[in-house]
Structure 1
Amino acid sequence: MRDLGLVAGSCGGLDVRFAGELARPAAARGWRTAITLTPTAMRWLESTGALADVESATDLPVRSASRLPGEPRPHPDPSVFLFAPASANSVAKLALGIADNQALTVLGDVLGAPGITIVVAYQIQDTRVHHPAWQRHLGTLAEAGVTLHRLDVGRPWTEALDLLP
């Protein structure tokens, strides 16, 4: 079984699509998912009751906060990561090197590292593509070797899994 760092941000559909279209299908494809959520994504899943469904898709703890000194590492060190869904805010922070939560720290620590695969499947408003910094953020991530994919509300999120090695 291969380890997959599965990272999720707070985007529309997270509570009803993440477990069924990403976490469980990844496990069915032979991935052991190490799931890390942004703090807002964790709150969304907790408030909607969907966190239990996400937790059932992995044998590892689902985390959103950093561990305390002396605590054991709860996740392995995957060489493959999927950040989906990724919000425009999280994409921008990742491109700029801002690691202000555990999810972005996990990705920021390996961004551009040899032998690491990162796929970022983002969900944005149609108007976001016109923001002057947006294309620069995508360009920065692409230059670091990240595979980028825009999620569409009308298509299954499982298509992001097809981009993994």
Structure 2
Amino acid sequence: MNTGHLQIASILGAVGTGLIGGVFFAFSTFVMQALARMPAAQGIAAMQHINVTVLNPWFLGVFMGTGLVSIGVLVLALMQARSGAALLIVAATLYFVGTFLVTMVFNVPRNDALAAATPDAAQSAVLWAKYLREWTFWNHVRTVAALAACATFCVALTR
């Protein structure tokens, strides 16, 4: 692979991390707050619908595609000695670890537990309160990681 491939992959990484960071930013700054203001059964039902709807080719293509691009950038940057290579390694790692892996390890299991809940069951309100607190915390982490990855990709591209 040549430097051109790395540059194209880095541009795709910057766009993908920015898109995903924006989605997560929206959830962190207003979507989860709006859901938290609803009665628990309604908030649970709404989030259950969101968690089903998000599993579409557009979102998953960008989310998972950016993960694959990040792995590619990481490998290419490690193979090439060029200005900005260290920044590309940081950017790719930020996205893959801080966004992709955090999603798989922390957000998805909480989504699965919420999916199994009956919204109007008494114990679901307790689950919802815990979900809001924990899921949103991990969403903040992946938001910061994705946006930091985007910024780092952009800086690396200028070098």
> Under a length normalisation based on structure 2, what TM-score does the superposition of the two structures give?
0.24
Greater relative contact order: 1 or 2 (C-alpha under 8 angstroms, separation 6 or more)?
Answer: 2
**Which of the pair is proportionally richer in strand?**
1
Larger gyration radius, structure 1 or structure 2:
2
* TM-score computed with the length of structure 1 as normaliser: 0.23
Q: Which has the higher helix share?
A: 2
